[in-house]
Amino acid sequence: MSSEVTLVPTVSTTSSDAIIKELFQQYISLHPNDNTTSNNNKQTERTGFSLRSLPIIGNFFPEMDDKKKAINELLEIQKVTTSYREWYDTSLKLDELLGNNAWKSDPKSDIYDYDLIYKNLNEMRRARLNHDYKLLLYYIRTKWIRNIGNMGDANLYRHAYVGTKKLIEEYVRECQLSLEYLVTNDEVNLNDRYLLGMLIQTRKNIGRTALVLSGGSTFGIFHIGVLTTLFEANLLPRIISGSSAGSIVASILCCHNNEETFELLSTITTKKFNIFDVVDCDTSQIQGSFKKVLYYLGHWIKYGTIFDIEGLQDTMIGFLGDLTFREAYNRTGKILNITVSPASVHEQTRLLNYLTAPNCLIWSAVCASCSVPGIFPSCSVYEKNPKTNEIHEWNNDESMKYVDGSVDNDLPITRLSEMFNVDHIIAVQVNPHVVPILRVSVSNIGGQVENDLIYKMKHLLNNVYDFVSCEAIHYLQLLNELDVYKIV
């Protein structure tokens, strides 16, 4: 099998790069002294130079060659890049200097079926170049599946900063070219309705991708960076779900089109989020942190919550207006999903979207999803009559109250899979309390290169983690079955 590949990866400059740079400039203006990384690097260089100048000790600190210096410089640049395009270009240079391209150029590996990938690649390319669009459509309809030949295995993406085997990259590129050929080439003599139906069936076979934003209180601000980067690369999925703090960011994104999103992301750090306002008092006039703590403590004793919900309601209405889930879907094409948990212990968690709650007001769903018990009071979800625009409680049930959606279902992966054929999830988990229970393998995601020894150690630790967690879950289930908690 020939191992020649012609893929030349490129990342084009987009106007969205300005969003990232603007956000970083605003951050720097707010934190002008946050340059510890560059200061530490300069201090390290001065220390190394001083040690090398000593008569005897200097022999133990040899001067770095040009290649080593270039690698270190690129690593530092990689840490402070402000856009994916800059990070991508820097990482390509690192792969070249570190010799990672040799591994990528060799298609052979025990991790995936390279013969199958090579065979499918040649079949599609031959059909496209021969203008056999019927055969090409047949290949797309029958052979396009997610993770074909195990090419999505995480171990294929830990040997280089950018990409994986060039054979896999070439296959993905050929899939893109074949799809573009069927859709845009005038020689394709297929009925548009028939072609659309075949491609929709293919999408059902492949499955869809969803972006899921977790709760996390003020840590939800990190969601903005993820969304900005995906928007910059034109990779935002159409299906977006959010709970608690994630529902705030998800709803704002799904209610604005691309042009409005570009402007919104550029200025979002200047927006005022009066989420934690209290109706009967201007907390900004309270001097001293201790007095504020006493005031909020008194508010909690009196009302059972630290904050009122009105501040959050006013903020979300300012961003969203009275848009419903169906109106937002018709306006932007994005499928917004918000999880809410009924205050009653006998009710199940609800996933609100344009199918399950088409006329519900999005701002009310966000407020319900953010109603953390003890922090915000539980609240109702409201809907708008599509004919009269009259607003009333959802299903005219005034007694039904809802609380934080992340209480019972922070990441509604199963429900999304059932409703929208989602089988690939981009999960943004910002809750700090989940860090201790994350699998060790997560640490190699994000362009980090690791050798086989590190991988084997992580694999061993993962096995230990799986054993301990399964045992803990087993004994907790036993205690639940025996109703031990009632005795205690």
Mean pLDDT across the chain:
80
Among 55-64, 229-238, 432-441, 457-466, the least confident range: 55-64
Out of 117-126, 267-276, 336-345, the most confident range is 117-126
The closest alpha carbon to 216, from 177, 235, 244, belongs to: 244
User: Is residue 228 pLDDT above 80, yes or no?
Assistant: yes
Domain positions in the chain are 1-20+65-206, 209-420, 451-487
**What per-residue confidence (pLDDT) applies to 9?**
45
User: Is the model's pLDDT at 217 over the cut of 90?
Assistant: no
Find, among 412, 264, 240, 275, the residue nearest to 341 by Cα: 412
Does the domain formed by 209-420 have CATH 3.40.50.880?
no
Q: Is 316 exposed, middle or buried (0-12, 13-18, 19+ CB in 10 A)?
A: buried
- Model confidence at 444, in pLDDT bands (50, 70, 90)? low
Question: What is the C-alpha separation between 416 and 97, in angstroms, rounded?
Answer: 43
Examine the pLDDT at 286 and tell me if it is beyond 80: no
CB 384 within 8 A of CB 395: no
Which amino acid makes up residue 221? I
Residue 5's pLDDT is 40
User: In terms of pLDDT, which residue wins out, 268 or 145?
Assistant: 145
Of the candidate ranges 170-174, 211-215, 396-400, the one whose mean pLDDT is the lowest? 396-400
pLDDT value at position 308? 80
Most confident of 173-182, 200-209, 340-349, 407-416: 173-182
Residue 7 pLDDT class (50, 70, 90 cuts): very low
Helical (H) or strand (E) element with 428: strand 422-428
The pLDDT value recorded for residue 10 is 47
Nearest to 314 by CA among 269, 351, 355, 363: 363
**pLDDT score recorded for residue 81:** 85
Are 274 and 314 a contacting pair, CB within 8 Å? yes
Range among 232-246, 338-352, 428-442 with highest mean pLDDT value: 232-246
Distance of alpha carbon 66 from alpha carbon 244, whole angstroms: 50
Of 287-291, 354-358, 391-395, 446-450, give the lowest mean pLDDT range: 446-450
Q: What is the pLDDT of residue 54?
A: 54
pLDDT attached to residue 4: 40
Least Cα distance to 215 among 363, 341, 394, 345 occurs for 341
Kindly list the catalytic residues: 244, 404
How open is the CA angle 405-230-339, to the nearest 5 degrees?
A: 10
